[in-house]
Amino acid sequence: MPPDKDADKAGLLQAEIAHLRSDLIGLQEVDYFLERSGNHNQVGTIATMMGATDWAFAPSLMGSPDEKWRKPNESDNTIVTQKSEVALPGYGIGIVSKIPVKSWHRLELKGSPVGVLMAFPVDGKMKRFYVRDHPRSALGATLDNGWLVINTHLSFVPFFNLVQLVQIKRWVKTLGITDKSKIIIMGDLNIPVARIVRGFTWQSLATQRTFPSWYPKVQIDFFLSQALKPADVSHIEYPHSGMSDHLPLQIEVD
């Protein structure tokens, strides 16, 4: 019989999740019951592999980014959790946590009105295509231990992603956590300059080139804190595994 490619991918994912041994994982570019990825709830699947009871998926768009899609509206469930009924298929970001989550939060981020030219491999050659942007979001988890963790995936359009990051930093102030040492922003920020990402009041907790994973040239994935410094955390590096075009960025906090 031919090899079961889906089983191989699931086994590889299971091995990588076990290797990371994380209490909390932030996910970007995940599918929720999309045909292109086998009609799976990818965030829920990872939660099962981790043995985590709490997870949430925040759709940035309804439908597949490869096909016809629309913006989420008021009738959509924009934070799908383990307690939710099955929602409409979508694409977006997620958080999986072994630490109990007291509450979930979402911030809507508008997509850029203009796209950019991007290069993709086609038949062994790099070809440029015009790619339009789509709505984004930030997903926040207030944990039982008093921490607030925010995950996001910002626009690939320069300057527009910086505007989105500033919005998230302002949003943090409204979520009720006053201990700045227990607030972290994480995710794919699509901004390759750490000094710009930090701004004046935030620190980048881990320095590592993360993209592309097979030959990392830039860091566009970050952990940000207003109070913690790199010396306050342990940064754990992993090699390219074939699971993603980004390297995992991982820190351990006491």
CA gap 188, 93 in Å, rounded: 10
pLDDT for residue 1: 29
Give strand pairing partners of 150.
Answer: 140, 185
Closest CA to 110 of 136, 133, 132, 75: 136
User: Integer distance in angstroms from the first to the last C-alpha of the chain?
Assistant: 48
Residues 6+ apart with CB under 8 A from 7: none
pLDDT for residue 116: 82
Answer for the pair 249, 205: CB distance below 8 angstroms, yes or no.
no
pLDDT for residue 131: 83
CA gap 81, 58 in Å, rounded: 9
Tokens of 84: 């939710």
Instruction: Give the residue extent of every domain in the chain.
Output: 5-253
Superfamily designation of domain 5-253 = Endonuclease/exonuclease/phosphatase (3.60.10.10)
CA gap 105, 81 in Å, rounded: 12
Q: Is the pTM of this model over 0.85?
A: yes
CA gap 31, 10 in Å, rounded: 15
Residue numbers in the chain where pLDDT is lower than 50: 1-4
Answer for the pair 95, 153: CB distance below 8 angstroms, yes or no.
no
CA gap 209, 226 in Å, rounded: 22
Residues 6+ apart with CB under 8 A from 4: none
pLDDT for residue 121: 66
Tens of pLDDT along 113-157? 888 887 766 776 778 888 889 999 999 999 999 999 999 999 999
